[in-house]
Amino acid sequence: MSDANPVPVTVLTGYLGAGKTTLLNRILTENHGKKFAVVINEFGELGVDNDLVVDADEEVFEMNNGCICCTVRGDLIRIIGGLMKRRNKFDGIIVETTGLADPAPVAQTFFADEDVKRATKLDAIVTVVDAKNLPARLKDSPEAEEQIAFADIVVLNKMDLVTPEEAEEVEKRIRAINPYAEIRRATKSDVPIDSVIGRDAFNLSRILEREPEFLSGEDEHEHDSEVMSVSFEVSRPIDPERFNAWISQLLAQKGQDLLRTKGILHYQGDDRRFAFQAVHMIADGDFIGPWKEGDPRKSRIVFIGRDLNRPALRRGFESCQVDAPAADQA
């Protein structure tokens, strides 16, 4: 059961000093006629200019559902429950996480808690990175990688501090981790507000709508990051039972390493596209609109995560197809 008018929630992540608070203040002060409730966890060097600011404690706890990586933010459940009591006072919620935060518990809260799920929808995860310091951060902290892996939009900030070559290089690093994130170059976080707010990036009907900025193809480039992405495409229709069996087992066994999974599937005998997404082990899927006239009905799946076994994942996905017609099996 979901509310007719769920409140959109934007999650803002990024290392301390990357320009998160500058972006936040830009969103809040721009003349867009919208009011936001802001949930923050730390006071940066800059104050937050807003009427409705809530101090959160980033309390993460494990759900007792037998899924070890299913952690959620208890403080967010509490705060969103409170905010809903005056939901007519704002148009959206922005959750700023601390620099060191793993974005997974925040994202999972929006899928795992029934009250939060009913009242809100996750709009997008926006990660602000510092173009100059990102290479160093990627070396010394797994959180920096995770924040990029989870991002729908990466704001590549402080462009005035890097050369064009350095900028190219840092974009390449980001795309190697997450080719599906949209990268927005910025100085002093000066991105258009509508590029980070109102994106509806977690809407199943928009999954994989964007072409990747960098098709990873086979392993032709060096991976110097731990987190990577792989994607596969198959042309025979998918057998829903086989797919469910495979993906459930995969998420149960490898869910800790799989940060985000997204797929658009052509189910055997169905004219509608089936969209699928998961954050670690928490999955969500539904039929979305019909295939476009003339478009090839191909099924695609993307994994962003650690320690991904490309051949095994490929074989697994391929085996979800219906059997090839007998004539092909000469």
Partner 1 sequence: MSGAAEADFLLASRGVSRELGAWVVGIAFGRDGAGCAFGLGDGSLRIARLAAMDGEWQEVAAHDGACLSLCADVKDGFLSGGDDGRLLRVAPDGAVEELHKAGGMKWVDHVAAHESGVRAAAIGKQIHLFDGKGQALKVLTHPSSVGGIAFDAKGKRVAGSHYNGASLWFVAAKEDKPRLLEWKGSHAAIAISPDGTHVVTAMQENALHGWRLSDGQHMRMSGYPSKTKFLSFTAKGRWLATSGADSVVLWPFFGGGPMGKAPTELAGGDNVFCTAVACHPQHEVVAAGFADGLVLMAEIASGKVVPVAAPGRGPISALGWNPAGTHLAFGTETGFAALVDLSKRP
Of 84 and 322, which has the nearer Cβ to partner 1?
A: 84
Q: In the bound complex, what is the minimum distance in angstroms from residue 40's beta carbon to partner 1?
A: 8
Of 61 and 241, which has the nearer Cβ to partner 1?
A: 61
274 near 265, Cβ under 8 Å?
A: yes
Q: In the bound complex, what is the minimum distance in angstroms from residue 240's beta carbon to partner 1?
A: 26
Of 60 and 227, which has the nearer Cβ to partner 1?
A: 60
Q: In the bound complex, what is the minimum distance in angstroms from residue 206's beta carbon to partner 1?
A: 29
Residue by residue, what is the 3-state secondary structure of the chain? Answer: CCCCCCEEEEEEEECCCCCHHHHHHHHHHCCCCCCEEEEECCCCCCCCCCCCEEECCCCEEECCCCCCCCEEEHHHHHHHHHHHHHHHHCCEEEEECCCCCCCHHHHHHHHHCHHHHHHEEEEEEEEEEECCCHHHHHHHCHHHHHHHHHCCEEEEECHHHCCHHHHHHHHHHHHHHCCCCEEEECCCCCCCHHHCCCCCCCCHHHCCCCCCCCCCCCCCCCCCCCEEEEEEEECCCECHHHHHHHHHHHHHHHCCCEEEEEEEEEECCCCEEEEEEEECCEEEEEEEEECCCCCCCCEEEEEEEECCCHHHHHHHHHCCECCCCHHHHC
Of 77 and 138, which has the nearer Cβ to partner 1?
A: 77
Q: In the bound complex, what is the minimum distance in angstroms from residue 49's beta carbon to partner 1?
A: 14
Q: In the bound complex, what is the minimum distance in angstroms from residue 270's beta carbon to partner 1?
A: 29
Q: In the bound complex, what is the minimum distance in angstroms from residue 10's beta carbon to partner 1?
A: 19
Interface ranges with partner 1 (CB under 8 A) = 52-55, 57, 59, 61-65, 72, 74-75, 77-79, 82-86, 113-115
Of 44 and 305, which has the nearer Cβ to partner 1?
A: 44
Of 55 and 307, which has the nearer Cβ to partner 1?
A: 55
Of 53 and 159, which has the nearer Cβ to partner 1?
A: 53
Q: In the bound complex, what is the minimum distance in angstroms from residue 262's beta carbon to partner 1?
A: 27
